[in-house]
Chain A
């Protein structure tokens, strides 16, 4: 699979605080969980055991997909602090 290689090629400067906050109460009974497949960086995963969304902000590409596909407003969405987050070298 090339997919794992893709993710390994992105550079970041990770801020200790998440720039996106997930309100997990709002997404508990979501029928589509579109964030888990539409996020191009695979940041969202459904945790069956805990019955909650796991979110890893560190790999975020800051693309905006999750914010747009979530119609419940479960995300408090911001860009990372200045100078942090994804850093494209060439692209």
Chain B
């Protein structure tokens, strides 16, 4: 049996960061990836928010990493039956390095990133599934991999095997998730051309834009998105799984309806469909984060449920990288002491607690509740449309003051008590 100082399962951003960090400290690291290249199994189509650990691994990381566009423009579009209302933000301050966020292709980025980990001395095995864990007593002592000479051992393993974390489940850490804590993302990639994207989104150079849509999911809790890459657009929807299940509507039908909405159709005109993908993602937030360590094992990235949204920010990939780094620090310390017990590895949780990873998730812990308010995806977007139409409509009738008009529209749509309760709850979750 081959021996390592540490095994990392999963060659995504959490895994590659962990492997690279540990290799930098001289540990003998094995990184196993089930795709035939790192990134081959990933369908991310979003934005990587700036992540400080990257430059610790490689000075000028962002000059080397293969990203597509730096995001300077973010919009939220609220869709009602007959209108759309958009809030568009763009800032000159986001157009100078260090950039605040990047769009990228994960099959490209992850492959580059995992190779960097190799360059630092880690061993990368691709096309290699972690089939089971090996135990010494109750401590994880290695991994059974899908190769003929199949077992590898290490005193500690970091599971970065994604949201379903079959590895975490085998160790009894990840519990079967609640359906309402999980979302399904479906996405298609459209090829449009660099010039055309710049023109349609009002961008120059490598500037990028993101656009989120609310009210476009037929009342299912979820939303739509468009992200700009250099020559392509990532277009898709995310739904809470319990809400999707209840609706009985196939996600690809909802997708088809989404891309035929006027504001989406206009952006996609003439674009060529290039690839389709889907995956579940963790949406349970802070409260749903499982125990992230046990004897000989740590969880990082999506496997640890490190992902959140507060309605405006959607973060995961940066949390994956940071958690991979903190897991690596924990393992290096454990090697120094020759102790890989849960007790020793528990410092990983403290590291997460002190870093922006769990601090941000804790800050927005109550947003999960807000995101589970059905009315946010049905009545409220419709209400925004009604109010905005009233404000801008000129039909010769005497106008009402905006406050009055809004109040009347709200009262006609739902009980006042309900609105007050929603405002209080919503306010508590993000303000």
Which positions in A face B, CB cutoff 8 Å? 1-3, 5-7, 9-10, 13, 32, 34, 37-38, 40-42, 61-65, 67-69, 71, 78-83, 85-91
Residue among A7, A40, A61 with max Cβ neighbours from chain B (10 Å): A40
18 contacts between A and B (CB under 8 A): A2-B259, A3-B256, A5-B273, A6-B252, A9-B188, A10-B277, A34-B245, A61-B278, A62-B41, A64-B164, A67-B164, A68-B179, A79-B34, A82-B128, A87-B36, A88-B277, A90-B189, A91-B277
The answer to whether A32 touches B188, judged by C-beta atoms less than 8 angstroms apart, is no
Q: Write the B1-39 contact mask toward A (1 if CB under 8 angstroms, else 0).
A: 000000000000000000000000000000000111001
**Closest B residue by C-beta to A11:** B275
Q: Which residues of B contact A40 (CB under 8 A)?
A: 184, 186, 250-252, 278
From A13, A38, A89, give the contact of B244 (CB < 8 A). A38
Distance from B165 Cβ to chain A, minimum over Cβ atoms (Å): 10
The answer to whether B146 touches A82, judged by C-beta atoms less than 8 angstroms apart, is yes
Q: Which of B47-55, B104-112, B382-390 contacts A (4 or more CB under 8 A)?
A: B104-112
From A37, A63, A91, give the contact of B275 (CB < 8 A). A91
Report how many residues on chain B are interfacial, defined by Cβ distance under 8 Å.
Answer: 54
How far, in angstroms, from A62 to B277 measured CA to CA in the complex? Answer: 10
**Closest A residue by C-beta to B163:** A64
Distance from A76 Cβ to chain B, minimum over Cβ atoms (Å): 12
The answer to whether A79 touches B166, judged by C-beta atoms less than 8 angstroms apart, is yes
Q: Which residues of A contact B129 (CB under 8 A)?
A: 79-82
Which positions in B face A, CB cutoff 8 Å? 34-36, 39-45, 105-108, 126-129, 145-147, 163-164, 166, 177, 179, 182, 184, 186-189, 232, 234, 241, 244-245, 248-253, 255-256, 259, 273-280
The answer to whether B252 touches A42, judged by C-beta atoms less than 8 angstroms apart, is yes
The answer to whether A64 touches B280, judged by C-beta atoms less than 8 angstroms apart, is yes
Q: Which residues of A contact B106 (CB under 8 A)?
A: 88, 91
Distance from A36 Cβ to chain B, minimum over Cβ atoms (Å): 9
The answer to whether A83 touches B126, judged by C-beta atoms less than 8 angstroms apart, is yes
From B145, B179, B259, B274, give the contact of A90 (CB < 8 A). B274
How far, in angstroms, from A82 to B44 measured CA to CA in the complex? Answer: 20
How far, in angstroms, from A91 to B248 measured CA to CA in the complex? Answer: 27
Using A62-B41, A82-B129, A91-B42 as known contacts, say yes or no to A32 and B274 having CB atoms under 8 A apart.
Answer: no
How far, in angstroms, from A78 to B45 measured CA to CA in the complex? Answer: 24
Distance from A20 Cβ to chain B, minimum over Cβ atoms (Å): 12
- The majority secondary structure among interface residues of chain B is mixed
Distance from B222 Cβ to chain A, minimum over Cβ atoms (Å): 13
How far, in angstroms, from A6 to B43 measured CA to CA in the complex? Answer: 14
**Closest A residue by C-beta to B128:** A82
How far, in angstroms, from A4 to B276 measured CA to CA in the complex? Answer: 11
The answer to whether A6 touches B276, judged by C-beta atoms less than 8 angstroms apart, is yes
The answer to whether A88 touches B42, judged by C-beta atoms less than 8 angstroms apart, is yes
Q: Which residues of B contact A63 (CB under 8 A)?
A: 184, 278-280
From B187, B256, B274, B278, give the contact of A65 (CB < 8 A). B278
| Closest 10 pairs between A and B when the two form their complex, measured CB to CB | A83-B127, A40-B278, A82-B129, A6-B276, A64-B280, A82-B128, A82-B127, A63-B279, A63-B278, A83-B36
The answer to whether A91 touches B250, judged by C-beta atoms less than 8 angstroms apart, is no
The answer to whether B256 touches A2, judged by C-beta atoms less than 8 angstroms apart, is yes
**Closest A residue by C-beta to B42:** A88
From B35, B43, B147, give the contact of A91 (CB < 8 A). B43
Residue among B179, B278, B279 with max Cβ neighbours from chain A (10 Å): B278
How far, in angstroms, from A10 to B278 measured CA to CA in the complex? Answer: 11
Distance from B26 Cβ to chain A, minimum over Cβ atoms (Å): 28
How far, in angstroms, from A43 to B245 measured CA to CA in the complex? Answer: 16
**Closest B residue by C-beta to A69:** B245
Distance from A54 Cβ to chain B, minimum over Cβ atoms (Å): 16
**Closest A residue by C-beta to B250:** A37
Q: Which residues of A contact B145 (CB under 8 A)?
A: 82
Q: Which residues of A contact B182 (CB under 8 A)?
A: 64, 68
Residue among B41, B42, B128, B187 with max Cβ neighbours from chain A (10 Å): B41
Q: Which residues of B contact A81 (CB under 8 A)?
A: 129, 146
The answer to whether B105 touches A91, judged by C-beta atoms less than 8 angstroms apart, is yes
